[in-house]
């Protein structure tokens, strides 16, 4: 298993252009990407499902295996909430994921199918289950504290509790911190300064360049559903030219 930790360097971030199946993975792999990353929203939507573990776990595993077989680069995936409600189910599922050859995962603290976030202590126990299953896999702890409700004006008040979660997740064995929704450069720099874990920021538009985020000390930049949305838009536009008139 490739160790993804060396790829995460503050100021020289790992850039992930997220894919959704074996075909898109192959295309991005040929572009020179050092690591291939699947995004759960795009993976689900490309197969006719909503995000949030609506797609069966067996189908998620099959898709992950197909992606890994299609490329030579290490692959990281969105494990969402582990597709399990208890620690026993989580243990079984992470062991199944490891059999595919995945080198990393995003693991979120949102209560999927419920409300709010998991209690910090409970989420730490869940992270410990993942860590115990593999010392090598890169666990990117996703915290949805800033993503829920999409209210950037409240983010300054949430940075402190986010940092506290980052510290707790690091102690539990996480390797990285993913903070989707955070776009304010001042707050990103503050998070990078105080987080014990390398910080992953998601770019959803062109307002912040990769160079901007690198200058803030970000260690990982992902693009979430944006590649899928752009590709589907381009496909629809091209098809329209054949059907109009």
**Residue tagged 């099959």 (tokens):** 62
Mean predicted confidence (pLDDT) in 197-205: 94
Average pLDDT in the chain: 96
Q: How many domains does the chain have?
A: 1
pLDDT greater than 70 at residue 184: yes
191 and 182 in contact (C-beta within 8 Å)?
Answer: yes
pLDDT greater than 80 at residue 138: yes
State in Å, rounded, how far the first CA of the chain is from the last one. Answer: 53
For β-strands 36-37 and 75-78, DSSP reports them as parallel
The CATH number that applies at residue 227 is 3.20.20.60
Which domain range does residue 110 map to?
5-243
The 10s digit of each residue's pLDDT in 23-54 is: 999 999 999 999 999 999 999 999 999 999 99
Tell me the pLDDT band of 8, cut-offs 50, 70 and 90: very high
Exposure string (b/e) for 158-182, b if CB count within 10 Å is 16 or more? bbeebbebbbbbbebbbbbbbbbbb
How far apart CA 90 and CA 117 sit, in angstroms, is 17
Tell me the pLDDT band of 81, cut-offs 50, 70 and 90: very high
pTM confidence score: 0.95
Tell me the pLDDT band of 196, cut-offs 50, 70 and 90: very high
With CA atoms as reference, report the closest residue to 176 among 35, 34, 43, 4: 4
């Amino acid at each position: 298993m490739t160790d993804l930790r060396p790829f995460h360097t503050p100021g020289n971030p790992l850039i992930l252009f997220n894919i959704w199946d074996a075909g898109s993975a192959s295309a991005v792999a040929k572009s020179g990407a050092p690591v291939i990353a699947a995004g759960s929203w795009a993976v689900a939507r490309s197969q006719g499902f909503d995000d949030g573990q609506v797609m069966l776990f067996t189908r998620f595993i099959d898709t992950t295996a197909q992606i890994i077989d299609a490329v030579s680069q290490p692959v990281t995936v969105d494990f969402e909430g582990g597709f399990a409600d208890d620690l026993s189910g989580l243990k079984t599922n992470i062991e199944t994921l490891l059999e595919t050859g995945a080198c990393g995962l995003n693991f979120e603290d949102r209560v999927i199918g419920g409300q709010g976030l998991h209690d910090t202590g409970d989420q730490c126990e869940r992270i410990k289950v993942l860590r115990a299953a593999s010392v090598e896999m890169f666990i990117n702890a996703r915290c949805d504290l800033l993503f829920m409700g999409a209210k950037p004006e409240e983010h300054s008040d949430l940075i402190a509790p986010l940092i506290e979660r980052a510290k707790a997740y690091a102690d539990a064995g996480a390797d990285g911190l993913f903070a989707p929704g955070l776009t304010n450069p001042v707050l990103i720099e503050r998070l990078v300064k105080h987080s014990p874990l390398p910080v992953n920021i998601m770019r959803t538009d062109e307002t912040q360049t990769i160079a901007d985020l690198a200058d803030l000390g970000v260690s990982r930049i992902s693009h979430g559903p944006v590649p899928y949305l752009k590709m589907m838009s381009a496909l629809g536009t091209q098809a329209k030219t054949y059907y109009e008139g």
